[in-house]
Structure 1
Amino acid sequence: MKKRVFGLAVAASLAALSASAADLPSRREPPPAYIPPPPIFTWTGIYVGLNLGGGWLDRYDYGSWFFPASSSPSTAGVIGGAQIGYNYQFTPLFVAGVETDFQGSSVGGGNQVWGATRSVGWFGTLRGRAGLSMLNSQLLLYGTGGFAYGDLRLNYGWLGSQASTGTGWTVGGGLEYAFLPNWSAKVEYLYTNIGANYDPIYVAPFIVDTQQRAHLNTVRAGVNYRFNWMLAPPGPAVAAY
């Protein structure tokens, strides 16, 4: 009988304690707020930019029956202009795109043999680009090549001068580094080969047929701004608790 009474007393005490605990405020902490991962960097996007550098004529051939083809010493000058392009990042490592640029130029000088002067007044290119993305994708090592055109000028002194738009090809490479989400800086080298033909010059009793080909080297630094730089979307939305 005593055992039965004791058991009932213990059960009643436990029930009372449980009811009291249910009335106490919960000490369980709310779940931590969801913090999405940082966006993934990518080179994909349209960009525009400016550049400035220098150039020199590795060789500048021009000739005719009257002015034989000749090779002149390197003649340096300043170049500068603008570019616009588009990149697409196919994989975390591989990036490809297309770029066009237009450059003003003071590259040119005189020929030691005949005293004529020659220069490249301006030039432009339309190129493909392909490269590897490194250092968390912020450094792009690329090669480039494509079509080139430019203003080639010859001055024969008292015989007059001529200018013509030549065409040819270009090839080169460079490094580009994204120092801010929308901004990148680059250093680039291009070798450009452009040729042009001219109307004949009449020097009685001769007719001088002229042609020339510029072998132009350029090194330039530039900065690009990317519009709507495409970033990976943040993580999925999480309902508030």
Structure 2
Amino acid sequence: MRTTLAISVLAAILAASAAQAADLPPHTAPPPPYVPPPPVLTWNGVYAGLNLGGGWQDPNSSNVWNPAWAGPGWGGPGWGGPGWGGPGWGWGGGNSGGTGGVVGGGQIGYNFQFSPWLVVGVETDFQGTSIGSSGGGGWQGWGGGVDTARINWFGTVRGRLGVTFPGLSQLLIYGTGGFAYGDVQRNFWWSNNSVVQTGWTAGGGAEWLFLPNWSVKAEYLYTEISGNQQNWLWNPGFSLNNINNRTRFHTVRAGVNYHFNFGSPAPVLARY
């Protein structure tokens, strides 16, 4: 009797345990750790960087420092001769060719990405250079001195308009143009002076965003700046020596930019 009762109690306990186990949720493996998605590459925001390259003065650049003293007419047939008022006036000017030099400096700018393929921005840069130029041919003043022009430094403030491509949003091809200024030093025989000239610049380039905050670029610019009042030594302000010197030069440079991404709107690419 006691054995039967013990067996019955044991069977009841086992049945209750089985029923309770059936009510428990099934055993599952722990969820995998969260891996955030890769950051969306965007051109939005402020950037700054450095660049280095080379440049050369255009053969059409005017390197005349003081043509009244450079023309053959000064010591020629007289005040009324062809040198003073005639075709000999500018013989000391022109340019027989330019010498290249190193260009280097920094830039800072801002980009806004309007769509997955359109980027607009503004950039300013400042460059130091060793670009020089030889003077024009012909007799160059007393004793045959040579006119030369040297671009000591220049800067630009430019707009940029660029496009990207489907599946290649990290590559930006852009055109650029705007205001330019620079310090041009003109040397003549025994003396020299320099002046800040202003003008324009235009060009284009390509930039590669190889990390979310880093890019490299290659860029070409053509620059033309001009200004007068560069002949103060022999120019009292009313003579024809007060000419407008035009300085034209080319630059090719490579650079690296860091993109801060602060103050920029949410990535446009995430909305498409």
TM-score, normalising length: structure 1: 0.79
CA distance in 2, matches of 1:106, 1:186: 22
CA distance in 2, matches of 1:124, 1:81: 9
Instruction: Find the residue that maps to 2:150 and give its secondary structure.
Output: strand
Instruction: Find the residue that maps to 2:98 and give its secondary structure.
Output: coil
Q: Deviations over 1:71-122 (max 9, x none)?
A: 3313100010010000111101000100000000100032141321111000
Please provide the CA RMSD for this pair: 2.8
Instruction: Find the residue that maps to 1:23 and give its secondary structure.
Output: helix
1:56 corresponds to 2:60:
no
Q: Deviations over 1:172-203 (max 9, x none)?
A: 00011112221111000000001121244429
1:71 corresponds to 2:103:
no
> Where in structure 1 do 4 or more consecutive aligned residues deviate above 6 Å?
16-19
Partner letter of residue 39 of structure 2?
A: P
Partner letter of residue 149 of structure 2?
A: R
More deviation in 223-232 or 142-151? 223-232
Match of 1:211 in 2: 244
Instruction: Find the residue that maps to 1:175 and give its secondary structure.
Output: strand
TM-score, normalising length: structure 2: 0.71
CA distance in 1, matches of 2:38, 2:16: 47
Consecutive unaligned residues of structure 1, counting only runs of 5 or more, are 1-15, 236-241
Instruction: Find the residue that maps to 1:208 and give its secondary structure.
Output: coil
Is contact 1:62–1:210 with CA below 8 Å preserved after alignment? no
Instruction: Find the residue that maps to 2:62 and give its secondary structure.
Output: strand
Per-residue deviation, 1:139? 0.8
Consecutive unaligned residues of structure 2, counting only runs of 5 or more, are 1-13, 71-89, 141-145
Query: Which structure: greater strand fraction?
Result: 1
Instruction: Find the residue that maps to 1:107 and give its secondary structure.
Output: strand
Match of 1:128 in 2: 159
Is contact 1:105–1:121 with CA below 8 Å preserved after alignment? yes
Per-residue deviation, 1:151? 0.4
Is contact 1:120–1:150 with CA below 8 Å preserved after alignment? yes
For residues 207 and 143 of structure 1, do their structure 2 counterparts lie closer, same or farther at Cα, with a shift above 3 Å needed? closer
Residue in structure 2 matching 1:146, options 168, 174, 178: 178
Matches for 1:81-100 after TM superposition, within 5 Å: 81-100=105-124
1:156 corresponds to 2:188:
yes
Per-residue deviation, 1:222? 0.5
